[in-house]
Chain A
Amino acid sequence: QVQLQESGPGLVKPSETLSLTCTVSGYSISSGYYWGWIRQPPGKGLEWIGSMYYSGSTYYNPSLKSRITISVDTSKNQISMKLTSVTAADTAVYYCARVASTGWRFDYWGQGTLVTVSS
């Protein structure tokens, strides 16, 4: 069974960089698939952040493209994201997920981690 678990600081100061890690178990990232990040601000809907193939191909949400970097560490079986110059608008629950083999749907998700941007 594929399992994903997000981790990272729950509080980030404005203008700083938000860094999160997603640890995957039950499946080797280097075996394939795209992996993605999605977020949900309090009281709002889901927003796709970006997706990355294990070998390096990436797609980013154009609204975040200048601030987001997604990377993969196959040795640790982890996916990471960094979001720079954060503001209160980046406060959200952040999820990592696996993109299914066809159709750009997310078939496995982590439980999510709340990140609050505040001084």
Chain B
Amino acid sequence: DIQMTQSPSSLSASVGDRVTITCRASQSIYSYLNWYQHKPGKAPKLLIYAASSLQSGVPSRFSGRGSGTDFTLTISSLQPEDFATYYCQQSYSNFRLTFGGGTKVEIK
């Protein structure tokens, strides 16, 4: 299995802050990396696919970078509606799709 490790597991930030979340794969997954936003009681929302492509309708303050084993999700200016848990997901191995453990973004 490809293990996905996110860091940090949680962070506190203020509105307007620049926030970066890291996701590391246990082996190279090239650019087969997706990011989701998840709010309690809601459906998860696809933000970024193929490491750096912005899903339609997602604000441009969200961006993704990386390839191989190391990836980042950046929110350039945190908005009140961005407080949520973020998950990465590798799609390199379609026989065993795996998610990271999540990063909870909380209000400072």
A residues sitting closer than 8 Å to B (CB atoms) are 4, 45-48, 51, 59, 61-62, 95, 97, 100, 103-107, 109-112
B95 to chain A, nearest CB (A): 6
Interface size on B, residues (CB 8 A): 26
Query: Which one of B34, B43, B99 contacts A111 once the chains associate, using CB atoms below 8 Å?
Result: B43
6 contacts between A and B (CB under 8 A): A48-B96, A48-B98, A97-B44, A104-B94, A106-B36, A106-B44
Cα A33 to Cα B61 with chains together (Å): 29
B residues sitting closer than 8 Å to A (CB atoms) are 1, 32, 34, 36, 38, 41-46, 49-50, 55, 87, 89, 91, 94-102
Cα A81 to Cα B98 with chains together (Å): 19
B100 in contact with A45 (CB, 8 Å): yes
Q: Would you list the 4 A-B pairs with minimal beta carbon distance, nearest first?
A: A104-B91, A109-B43, A48-B97, A46-B99
B46 in contact with A104 (CB, 8 Å): no
Beyond A45-B99, A104-B32, 4 additional pairs, beta carbon < 8 A: A46-B87, A62-B1, A106-B89, A107-B46
A106 in contact with B99 (CB, 8 Å): no
A45 in contact with B101 (CB, 8 Å): yes
Cα A100 to Cα B50 with chains together (Å): 12
B-chain residues with CB within 8 Å of residue A45 when the two chains form the complex: 87, 99-102
Give the residue among B44, B91, B96 with the most A Cβ atoms within 10 A.
Answer: B44
B44 in contact with A109 (CB, 8 Å): yes
A-chain residues with CB within 8 Å of residue B38 when the two chains form the complex: 46
When A45-B101, A46-B87 are in contact, do A106 and B46 touch as well, CB less than 8 Å?
A: yes
B89 in contact with A105 (CB, 8 Å): yes
B30 to chain A, nearest CB (A): 11
